[in-house]
Structure 1
Amino acid sequence: MPQPLTPAATSAPPGKDTAPRPVPVAQRDAFFDNAKYLAIVLVAIGHAWEPLRDGSRAVTAAYTLVYAFHMPAFIVIAGYFSRSFDGSPQRLRRLVTGVAVPYVVFETAYTFYTRWTDGVPDRPVSLLEPLYLTWFLAALFIWRLTTPVWRSVRWPLPVALGVAMLATVTPSIGEDLDLQRTLQFLPYFVLGLCLRPEHFRLIRRWKVRIAAVPVFAVALGLAYWAVPRMSGAWFYHRDSAQELGAPAWYGPVMTLVVFACSTLLVACFLSWVPGRRMWFTALGAGTLYGYLLHGFVAQGSKYWGWYDPSWVYEPVGEVVVTAVAAVIVTVLCTPPVQRVFRFAMEPDMRWAFRGDRSREGLALRA
């Protein structure tokens, strides 16, 4: 995820015939690339664990813990790098080509693919009902479009939390554009908009890193305790309180409780992210590729019978499944894969827009 860059000064003393200095390429922050890569690995691992939850309290607890913070972390970073979105023609073009077009392409692709894997040959292509992973692109499009609003209001985070709380008591929202999930995840995006570099420096202090260890240990213990006692669906943000079989007033209360828990875990997770360049740092630029492409493997794995052997549900099998998921999503983030699928993820559509047709130099995608 590139950062804004100020070109180096090119002025020379009067009378000196100095060749102009080349404009430096955009520099990427290793910390955020590392965070994006690690978050997308957790997303893939979470999907790989899903078929293993039945009959395994430990896997279900780990699954719940991961779901409590992996997408919030991804969304907070997306919000942080959306701060400069101002609705200008250049940024709107980038929003269309980098988010809207991939949404159409992958929504269509997933529909045809799941017709085969799920055995539903008549599943319609509906751009209004995001299928599987594409909800994030639809949500990101909406969040980015509303960024100028959140940058203008006096108390953006309380307002966003209020919107999320209202969504949890409104089952009539329906499934169009997965608005229920979009609205319930909105506070994390707005939180990212409100953050500044010094906030990330604060949570990366060694004291915070040490404190994160018992926090995660306690969170895992609570998740294990909660498995037979409550639903982890509150962390999915897909349904209203009524749809989860709870009284309506649970919705606003759980919105605040879940937001507090998830934000704390996101801070702990980010405190452990290395700030220096690692072997996987370069893969942070391809996390959206890994996110969208690994879904085809996750869907196909059940159809291909990868979960049929009984040993998969034993501790050794669970470790193997975890490792395979991490390796697959890592491969899908690599530059060769990016080059193959760039036509769908980052299409060059200058021909489709009026005005300045020069290539935009800064990617705004989270």
Structure 2
Amino acid sequence: MRGASETAVGAALDSGDPLSGTAGFAGEIDDRLVRDVLGRYPLFVEDASDDGLPEWSSDPSDLDDPRSFPAGHVRDKRGTRRVFSLPDPAPLADDEAAVATVRDAVETSVDAVDTAGLAIAFSGGVDSALLAARLDAPLYVAGFPDSHDVEAARSAADLLDRDLRVVELTHDAIERAVPEIVAATGRTNAMAVQIALPLYLTAERVAADGFDRLAVGQGADELFGGYAKVAKAPDDPRVEAETVRGAQREVVATLPDQLERDVLALRAAGVEPVAPLLHDRVVEAALGLDDHHLVDGDTRKWALRQAARGSLPEAIATRDKKAAQYGSLAARELDRLARQAGYKRRMDDHVTQYVESLVE
């Protein structure tokens, strides 16, 4: 069992509580396979013809025909079935109570992280800055020299009076890393590779510097209303929900697929991810927020930003940040490499075609 003790997982199964106080789990317990409700740990299976459990692993390369085991499900001799679903609590009405709940959940989860062998993926935004402000571990940012993330990370590190290690991205590094990311994740679509690139190259450097764990801010955008499509609900066609809170739940439901990609990429680079903002207590706090706690006017992640004021300077707590693939310029430069290789934008999904050519 990875991520939690068998005792904790057994208690979660007995109670049916999807947010029982862990940071996720996946594996075998009492002749059952189980994966937590958000899929924070990957789990793959290979169907067997007998009535026993299938072959399984946390690493898809261990299996001949790996299939992702669904989050929130259990498999035993009776088959595969859902046992965990995210709760849908009534939203908190009081703004101060909402912020206090988020602050307590975030600070407790971050402060509980063991810093032995730990580094922090730091982009200068509120999510990673909360980790940097409360954990004594070195900070790393990846990006091209003129990228937004490098500039933002440098200014935020100065405000926090912390040293920063910059992983400078290059075209050669991208071309080398793309096949390695594809091999680790099994994904060739452009967006998946673009997102994984800065994480993977950061993790490589972290591992080379002697660290084996990387703290990341994953989950904060999904949980706290960080996406434009959530802020614009119900007018954004990318979500079906009629409310901001409904759109939040839509994007939270995408986490199992996203986390599988990120965890596999980081492990392939030589580190184990640590994601304190995805602890059960943080998830529970976020699901209890109302629309205006998630998005207040033009301010996304309002409750998280308010909660962060106790740990961060105002300039960081209120700062907007681009997604890593854009802030690092990894997406732009992968597109540039694709076009230089003859995969023009008029072609269907030209960057994915380029990625597939590198793998071939």
Quickly name the TM-score band, shorter chain normalised: under 0.3
Structure 1 or 2: more helix by fraction: 1
More strand by share: 2
Q: TM-score, normalised on structure 2?
A: 0.22
Q: Larger RCO: Structure 1 or Structure 2 (Cα < 8 Å, ≥ 6 residues apart)?
A: 1
- TM-score with structure 1 length normalisation? 0.22
